[in-house]
Amino acid sequence: MPVDVLVLLLRLSMVAVLYLFLVALVAMLRRDLVRQVEAPPEPEGAGTLVVLDPGPTPLRRGQTLPLRPTTSLGRDEQNVIVLADTFASARHAVLTWREGRWWLRDLQSTNGTYVNQQSVRGEAALEAGDVIGIGSVRLKLSP
């Protein structure tokens, strides 16, 4: 075979190998995707907080507060759940739904956030039935 034909074939096969590589990668990606689709979907973040102790706030004992995937708590009017307690900070804490569970994060509040009477540093994962304490307000997480 003349060298120039060989050079042409080598070059074209180099590009062909590149495309084969892309095809192989995409095929594997697709297989992953199919497996992900077949996996059971995770339940979306749903749940409520039950007011155990309203403290000085206008909340009622036993009242249920629906949660959003990101639910902010604090004194400020912009919060999803407004806690009119002087011991609550303006932006006190936030609940987020992630990886199939609720996470509570203290936003460096002045008086701290508590889960089952334990102070939360940074972020804590919650279980159903955990009691959140902010100021003198007590809220229970129910699924």
Partner 1 sequence: MSDRASWGWRWRELLLLGFPCAMLLLGWLSIDLARTGAPDPALWTRWLVFVGLVLGTHGWLAWRYPSADQGLLPIGAALTALSLVVVERLVPALADRQLAWLALALGAMVLALSLLPSIRWLHPWQYTWALAGLGLVGLTFVAGVDPNGSGARLWLGFGDALFQPSEALKLLLVLFFASYLDDKRELLAWGGPRWGRLRTPPLPYLAPLLVMLALCLGVVILQRDLGAALLYFCLFLALLYVASGRASYVALGLGGLLLGGALMERLFDHVRVRVAMWLDPWSDAAGRGYQVIQALVAFASGGVLGSGLTYGYPGYIPAVHTDFVIAAIGEELGLIGSLGTVALYMLWLHRGLAIALTRRSSFSTLLAVGLTSAISLQALVILGGTLRLIPLTGITLPFVSYGGSSLLVNFLMLGLLLAVSAERPVDRHG
Partner 2 sequence: MDKAIVRLGTVLLAGFVVVALALGYWQVAAAPGLVDGPYNPRLLAEAARTERGRILDRTSKVLVDNAPAGQGSKRVYALPAAVHVTGYFSPRYGAAGLEQRFDDYLSGARAPSLVDRVRDRLLHERRRGSDLVLTLDARVQAVAAEALGERRGAIVALDPRSGAVLALASAPGFDPNTLDQDWSALQRSEGDPFFNRALQATYTPGSTFKIVTATAAVDLGLVDLDQPFACSKPVAIDLLQVDCRNNAHVPNLTFQQAFAWSSNRTFALAGLALGFPGPMNRWLTDEPPEPYPWKTRGIAASAARLEEYAGRFGFGRSLPFDLPVSISRLKTQPEWTADLLGQTAFGQGQLAETPLQAALSAAAIANGGRLPAPYLVAEARGPDGTVQRLHEPGEDALEQVMSPATAARLQAFMVESVERGYAGKAALVGVQVAGKTGTAEVGAGRTPHAWFVGYAPADKPVVAVAAILEHQGSGSDFAAPAAREVLAAALRR
- Point out which residues bind partner 2 (CB under 8 A): 4-5, 7-8
State in angstroms the smallest separation of the CB of 60 from partner 1. Answer: 26
The three state secondary structure string of 106-126 is ECCCCCCEEECCEECCCEEEE
Q: Please pick, from the candidates 15, 43, 44, 58, the single residue that binds partner 1 as defined by CB under 8 A.
A: 15
Strands (E), 1-143: 48-53, 64-66, 70-74, 81-82, 93-98, 101-106, 113-115, 118-119, 123-126, 131-134, 137-142
Calculate Rg over the CA atoms of the chain: 27
Cα angle at 132 between 128 and 138, to 5 degrees?
A: 115
Q: Does 35 contact partner 1 by CB under 8 A?
A: yes
Residues 67-96 that bind partner 1 (CB under 8 A): 70, 72, 78, 91, 94, 96
Nearest CB to partner 2, comparing residues 7 and 24: 7
- Shortest CB 15 distance to partner 1, Å: 5
Place of tokens 């689709």: 37
Q: Which is nearer to partner 2, 14 or 60 (CB)?
A: 14
- Residues in contact with partner 1 by the rule CB under 8 A: 3-4, 6-8, 10-15, 17-22, 24-26, 28-29, 32, 35, 70, 72, 78, 91, 94, 96, 98-100, 105, 107, 121-125
